[in-house]
Amino acid sequence: MTTRDKMIENNLGLVHSCAQKFKNRGVDYDDLFQAGCIGLVKAVDGFDESLGYVFSTYAVPAILGEIKRIFRDGGTVKVSRSLKERSRKICQEKQNLTDEYGREPTVTELAEYVGLSVYETSQLLLAFQPVVSLTATEDESGKQFDIPVESEEERINEKICLDECIADLCENDRKIIDLRYYKSKTQAVVAKELGMTQVQVSRREKKILKEIREKMSV
């Protein structure tokens, strides 16, 4: 297994965490997970460790972006005939493993079984899924429903609110947040730079985050 594949496999938990936020919104969880895997792979390929960022900080927006794309792209996705054929084959292999294991295999297990990367396997599985309409009608009432998706305006408002909460902090607390979440420093490094112990940084960080969450929830 390559370093790239290991990094993808080791961070699949991030995909699950992101996909959980969109459960029960009209799209199967498998579809959410597979789209998230595409975002994860893009993040792995674009991540530059030398910049000093924590990978999860870089990856989560990419994962969420691919998942949200499912809801934004209301039109039919065109899939080539060859891709459809490969997709059918891998879905058959998935069923074979399901029969063998007595449960559905994970994307990683399926990828190893068919000899493909996790990314390519996810793409092939996703290509076989039916399109979800954003204006699907209910069986009897004929009413349409909308899939709730966070708008760009909401995202901007949250960013403004967060910036205001951070600006209200005392200088030392702002430094803790800046070093931990904008410069991705460890608690040990932050403690050394601010003349604190790691325990003090940890306790203070938890208190700051709690205060910010409370302000943003008002």
Which CATH fold topology does 152-216 show?
Arc Repressor Mutant, subunit A (1.10.10)
Q: Is the pLDDT of residue 109 over 60?
A: yes
SS3 137: strand
Is 3-127 CATH 1.10.1740.10? yes
Return d(Cα 90, Cα 125) in angstroms, integer: 7
CATH 1.10.10.10 range(s) for the chain read 152-216
Full-prediction pTM beyond 0.75?
no
pLDDT at residue number 137? 43
pLDDT digit string, tens, across residues 2-60 = 788 788 888 888 888 888 888 877 777 877 888 888 888 888 888 877 777 778 888 88
Would you place residue 194 in the very low, low, confident or very high pLDDT band (cuts 50, 70, 90)?
very high
For residue range 74-95, list pLDDT tens digits in order. 433 444 566 667 777 888 888 8
Reported confidence tier of residue 157, pLDDT bands at 50, 70, 90: low
**Confidence bin at 193 (pLDDT 50/70/90):** very high
Find the DSSP H helices in 102-197.
107-114, 118-127, 152-167, 171-177, 187-194
pLDDT score of 85: 73
Q: Which of 14-18, 108-112, 119-123, 172-176 is modeled with the greatest confidence?
A: 172-176
Q: Is 144 helix (H, G, I), strand (E, B) or coil?
A: strand
Q: Is the pLDDT of residue 186 over 70?
A: yes
| Cα–Cα distance for residue pair 44/5, rounded to 1 Å | 9
Helix (H, G, I), strand (E, B) or coil at 138: coil
Does the pLDDT at position 138 exceed 50? no
What is the model's pLDDT at position 176?
Answer: 92
Mean per-residue pLDDT of the chain: 76
Rounded CA-CA distance 77/86 in Å is 16
The predicted pLDDT at position 172 comes to 93
* Confidence bin at 126 (pLDDT 50/70/90): low
Q: Where in the chain is the domain with CATH 1.10.1740.10?
A: 3-127
Answer yes or no: is pLDDT of 139 > 60. no
Phi/psi for 137 (5° steps) reads -100, 150
Look at residue 127 in the predicted model and tell me its pLDDT: 61
